[in-house]
Amino acid sequence: MARYTLQRLIYMIITLFIIATATFFLMKLLPGSPLQNQEKLSPEQQKIILEKYGLNDPVPVQYVRYLGNLVKGDLGVSFQYDNRPVTQLIGDRIGPSAQLGFQALVFGTIVGILLGVIAAVRHNTAVDYGATVLAVLGISIPSFVFGGLLQYYIGVKLKLLPVAFWDGFEYTIMPTLALSVFVIASIARFMRTEMLEVLGSDYILTARAKGISGFGVIFKHGLRNAMIPIITILGPMAVNLMTGTLVIEQIFAVPGLGEQFVRSINLNDYPVIMGTTIFYSALFIFVIFIVDVLYGLIDPRIRLAGGKK
Amino acid sequence: MKKKLSIFFVLLLVASMVLAACGGNKAEEPKPSDEGKQETPAKEQVLNLLETSEIPSLDSTLATDAVSFRVMNNVFEGLYRLDENNQPTPGMAESYEVSEDGKVYTFKLRDAKWSNGDAVTANDFVYAWRKALDPNTGAEYAYIMYDIKNAEEVNTGKVPVDQLGVKAIDDKTLQVELKNPIPYFLSLLSFPTFYPQNEKFVKEQGDKYGLEANTTIYNGPFVLSEWKHEQSFQLKKNEQYWDAQTVKLETINFNIVKDVATGVNLYETNKADRVGLSAEFVDKYSSDKNFKTKSEPVLFFIRMNQKNEVLKNVNARKAIAMGFDKEAMVATILNNGSKAANYFVPEGFVTGPNGKDFREENGDLVTFNAEEAKKYWEQAKKELGKDKVTLELLNYDSESAKKIGEFLKEQLETNLPGLTVNIKQQPFKQKLDLESKMQYELSFAGWGPDYQDPMTFIDMFVTNGAHNQTGWSNAEYDKLVKDAKTTLLSDLQARWDAMVKAEKILLDEAVIAPMYQRGAAYLEREYVKGIVDHPFGPDNSYKWAYIE
């Protein structure tokens, strides 16, 4: 296991390096400069300012300098938030995004699994169709529509929950719900398909024959085996949700990371583009690693490298 | 069936309880007590506002954006600030004397304090201005100071910063030497780049200066008392402020809300006292008693690239400038208080030495007239020997710009037979790039003022000006601008007349096709009084605002 982890770690660093390099050069293809006031500045004035940030140097020089700083853990300072360190920028915003994403993930997964299992167990009944319709709706309704509707009816009309802002648990309920719709729908669909397959397999028949109760069969024998594909999609989904979502965070005025990536690309804020990309990729790669480890725990048939032959 | 359903609901309930338990400790936090306020908003001097983004910077030398400027204008103060009538009024300065040639200003500073108790001194200005112009600072608004002697030379690294024409005679006396005796210098001093900075404090904070509420000190009507990044910030009345007795508001709460619909919902639930509206909300609220619009001195127009053979033809340009219905454009598409512009220098922006608004002098210079436009167009086609013409319109990629682009296309193609307009939408930065390289034919462009003088618009179109970007060149125009910037500074009425004449030439030659002067629609609760809107630099002052 230790050897496997080390090996994976090396691969992870190489992957990250490739991502950083590709992003850096692609980013430099973006038209325009990172100057905020570009509209008003003459080319000479722009040059003076870019000189200060070393942006008049050839791209390879900039690249080597960036990598040098990166190794030291220095992601540079933002252009749009004049001279604010990128690490602090991400640090300030990741909390709310992660909390929201986590809540949506937990809630969505639980509800999704339940819906999927029920639909599978009551295959081809009204319950199944109901759950399927719900899942299709959940996947096809854009989250901003659902978020907007929630905000208007529950926040403005019924005044049950605060319309927006970030000031305690009740402020997280609507954005969590809005975010979790997609999670519920995706997981329910996967769960139903997988559960149907599992419930049809021989060992379930055996378990039933042994006289284990219906509930036990489904949750102890069925669920565990049906979880494999769920784990696969849960990893990337967790990263997606917990690094912030543009639309939901904007609708509910959540002080998260969601907007930063798109915004920094629009504004050519190079250090923030790089910083968020590296952060996101690192998290992603790490989660994939965790997922691989989890496979083994859930299904002992899947062995990690280094297992005894 | 019933039983099955109930099992389902039980499970759902369990799931939601599990989730509720996850964040349980936070749920018990007491809610901010705003119940009373919703019913009787008057007494408390607390204003609740929304801001469109996180504050990018509180370092006056670095800031470039509207949000930073708005905050800084209320927590800092320069030598002068704009008053309720947008005239410069003494801030940190108490009085000034100016030399006969109008080039040397000597300011007497009043006894004012920073929020840490330090006195505001002349050196605070010298330090901040040198810092802004130092090429190592990389200040994007450094050019706004180029009227100061040696400012440009300092900024381009030709002379050291101590050669800048700004001197602290003593703690309370500041002398500023100008390159040219510009008549709008006092109002220019209200611009954020001219704010002072306390050298000792700034150096103590190092990289952290301006990044947090407590790593910044203030000398304005308010202090920044709390700053939760990306979430909210709060201004409190500055008791140390020299004119604290004028300031009535105790607290201004800002929450960062980027979505217009969310802003409206917050206004509806009394969480925000003032909220900006986009066009789609205007119809819903235009009859509301709290609905207001304001006009801003920002002008949108079509740039026409004269490297293009069709657009080199003055009749073709005139045809385009007259060939679309501006009134219909502002009424049906913008619908937010924007006005059709038959001019280039905005209305209500600046008054001349004779007290008249620039627009009263020059009136309408280019109005929509389909018939005239068609005549010019036919003439142009004859001169060019063409029957069909295709032009590309470079456009921003925002929703509203898209609608305007489509409107222009439809109008121009209808009114000018044989013309085809293709629209090319580009991201903002790319659009600017293409424009500055003159790789476009027609372009949807905009311009806002940097200082309170028509020159901030007029000098754009001098030959080879960085923002001309049309290839147009006119010796008479260049001379008028040059004179207005030099010899005519001693005769302000003649200078004013020169600019009036220049604008006429610009639009007679149809260098650009003015479209509209920007407006903004918003809702403001009736108990909010005295928020002042400014035409350049920072948009608002809360110094005179109060709750009734």
pLDDT digits (tens, 9 = 90+) for B373-424: 999 999 999 999 999 999 999 999 888 899 999 999 999 999 999 999 999 9
Does residue B42 register a pLDDT over 80?
no
Residue A37 C-alpha, separation from nearest chain B C-alpha, in angstroms: 6
Domain span holding position B156: 46-256+525-547
- A27, A28, A29, A36: which to substitute to probe chain B, counting the most B Cβ within 10 Å? A36
% of chain B exceeding 70 in pLDDT: 92
Q: Which CATH number does the domain housing residue B63 bear? A: 3.40.190.10
B268 in contact with chain A, both atoms CB, cutoff 8 A: yes
The first and second tokens of residue A164, run together, are 């927006």
Residues 456-475 of B with CB under 8 A from A: 466-467
CB contact under 8 A, B56 and A82: yes
Contacts of A169 in chain B (CB under 8 A): 23-24, 26-27, 29
pLDDT of residue B40: 44
Vertex A117 angle, CA A284 and A194, to 5°: 60
CA–CA separation, B527 and B525 (whole Å) = 5
Please write the tens of the pLDDT for every residue from A180-237: 999 999 999 999 999 999 888 888 888 888 888 778 888 878 888 888 888 888 988 9
Over the Cα atoms of chain B, what is R_g?
Answer: 27
- A38, A42, A46, A83: which to substitute to probe chain B, counting the most B Cβ within 10 Å? A83
% of chain A exceeding 70 in pLDDT: 97
Residue A168 C-alpha, separation from nearest chain B C-alpha, in angstroms: 6
pLDDT of residue B37: 42
Q: Are A266 and B429 in contact (CB under 8 A)?
A: yes
pLDDT band at A10 (very low <50, low <70, confident <90, very high): very high
- B334 with B472, same domain: the answer is yes
Q: Are B340 and B324 in contact (CB under 8 A)?
A: no
A32 in contact with chain B, both atoms CB, cutoff 8 A: yes
Lowest pLDDT segment from A78-87, B308-317, B368-377, B443-452: A78-87
Element (H, E) at A237: helix A223-242
Contacts of A131 in chain B (CB under 8 A): none
Render B465-501 in DSSP notation, one character per residue: -TTT-S----HHHHHHHHHHHTGGGG-HHHHHHHHHH
- B359 with B223, same domain: the answer is no
Identity (one letter) of the amino acid at B355? G
- B131 with B187, same domain: the answer is yes
Please write the tens of the pLDDT for every residue from B177-208: 999 999 999 999 999 999 999 999 999 999 99
Q: Does the residue B272 lie in any domain?
A: no
CB contact under 8 A, B11 and A106: no
Average pLDDT over residues A94-101: 94
> Coil, strand or helix: which one is B446?
strand
- B378 with B232, same domain: the answer is no
Q: Are A76 and A69 in contact (CB under 8 A)?
A: yes
pLDDT of residue A303: 65
Among A84, A163, A166, beta carbon nearest to B265: A163
Please write the tens of the pLDDT for every residue from B97-123: 999 999 999 999 999 999 999 999 999
How many residues would you count in chain B?
A: 548
Among B56, B136, B255, beta carbon nearest to A253: B255
Over the Cα atoms of chain A, what is R_g?
Answer: 24
A251 in contact with chain B, both atoms CB, cutoff 8 A: yes
Does residue A59 register a pLDDT over 70?
yes
Identity (one letter) of the amino acid at B464? N
Please write the tens of the pLDDT for every residue from B207-217: 999 999 999 99
pLDDT of residue B477: 97
Q: Which CATH number does the domain housing residue B426 bear? A: 3.10.105.10
Contacts of A205 (CB under 8 A, 6+ apart): none
- B187 with B203, same domain: the answer is yes
Q: Does the residue B181 lie in any domain?
A: yes
Does residue B9 register a pLDDT over 50?
no
ipTM of the complex: 0.88
Nearest chain B residue to A108, by CA: B15
CA–CA separation, B104 and B86 (whole Å) = 24
% of chain B exceeding 90 in pLDDT: 86
- B231 with B309, same domain: the answer is no
Lowest pLDDT segment from A37-41, A235-239, B243-247, B474-478: A37-41
pLDDT band at B172 (very low <50, low <70, confident <90, very high): very high
Please write the tens of the pLDDT for every residue from B221-261: 999 999 999 999 999 999 999 999 999 999 999 999 999 99
CB contact under 8 A, A83 and B207: yes
Does residue B43 register a pLDDT over 90?
no
- B5, B35, B38, B54: which to substitute to probe chain A, counting the most A Cβ within 10 Å? B54
CA–CA separation, A10 and A302 (whole Å) = 22
- B137 with B185, same domain: the answer is yes
At the second CATH level, the architecture of A91-253 is Orthogonal Bundle (1.10)
Does residue A37 register a pLDDT over 80?
yes
B279-282 CB contacts, 8 Å cutoff, 24+ apart: B279/B333, B279/B334, B279/B335, B279/B336, B279/B400, B281/B521, B282/B335, B282/B336, B282/B521
CA–CA separation, A69 and A278 (whole Å) = 13
- B315 with B249, same domain: the answer is no
A35: left (phi over 0), alpha (psi -120 to 50) or beta: beta
Does residue B478 register a pLDDT over 60?
yes
pLDDT of residue A305: 53
A164 in contact with chain B, both atoms CB, cutoff 8 A: yes
Q: Does the residue B23 lie in any domain?
A: no
Pairing of strands B419-425, B442-447: unpaired
Does residue B18 register a pLDDT over 90?
no
Does residue A263 register a pLDDT over 60?
yes
Does residue B536 register a pLDDT over 70?
yes
Does residue B31 register a pLDDT over 60?
no
Q: Could you tell me which residue, B256 or A291, shows the higher pLDDT?
A: B256
Residue A23 C-alpha, separation from nearest chain B C-alpha, in angstroms: 19
CB contact under 8 A, B231 and A267: no
Q: Could you tell me which residue, A37 or A177, shows the higher pLDDT?
A: A177
CA–CA separation, A138 and A179 (whole Å) = 10
Among B1, B230, B255, beta carbon nearest to A92: B230
Contacts of B231 in chain A (CB under 8 A): 96, 165-166, 253, 255
Contacts of A259 in chain B (CB under 8 A): 258
Q: Does the residue B471 lie in any domain?
A: yes
Q: Does the residue B116 lie in any domain?
A: yes
pLDDT of residue A222: 85
CB contact under 8 A, B141 and A92: no
Does residue B452 register a pLDDT over 60?
yes
- B227 with B308, same domain: the answer is no
Contacts of B258 in chain A (CB under 8 A): 250, 253, 259
pLDDT of residue B3: 44
Does residue B36 register a pLDDT over 60?
no
Question: Looking at residue B235, what DSSP letter applies?
Answer: E
- B305 with B244, same domain: the answer is no
CA–CA separation, B238 and A107 (whole Å) = 46
Q: Burial-class residue A90 by CB neighbours within 10 Å (0-12, 13-18, 19+).
A: buried
Residue A105 C-alpha, separation from nearest chain B C-alpha, in angstroms: 10
Q: Burial-class residue B85 by CB neighbours within 10 Å (0-12, 13-18, 19+).
A: exposed
Does residue B486 register a pLDDT over 70?
yes
- A27, A40, A246: which to substitute to probe chain B, counting the most B Cβ within 10 Å? A40
Count of domains observed in chain B: 2
Averaged confidence pLDDT in chain B: 91
CB contact under 8 A, B230 and A256: yes
Does residue B129 register a pLDDT over 60?
yes
The first and second tokens of residue B56, run together, are 């990018």
Q: Does the residue B10 lie in any domain?
A: no
A153 in contact with chain B, both atoms CB, cutoff 8 A: no
**Where are the CATH 1.10.3720.10 domain residues in chain A?**
91-253
Question: Looking at residue B110, what DSSP letter applies?
Answer: P
Does residue A309 register a pLDDT over 80?
no
Does residue A275 register a pLDDT over 90?
yes
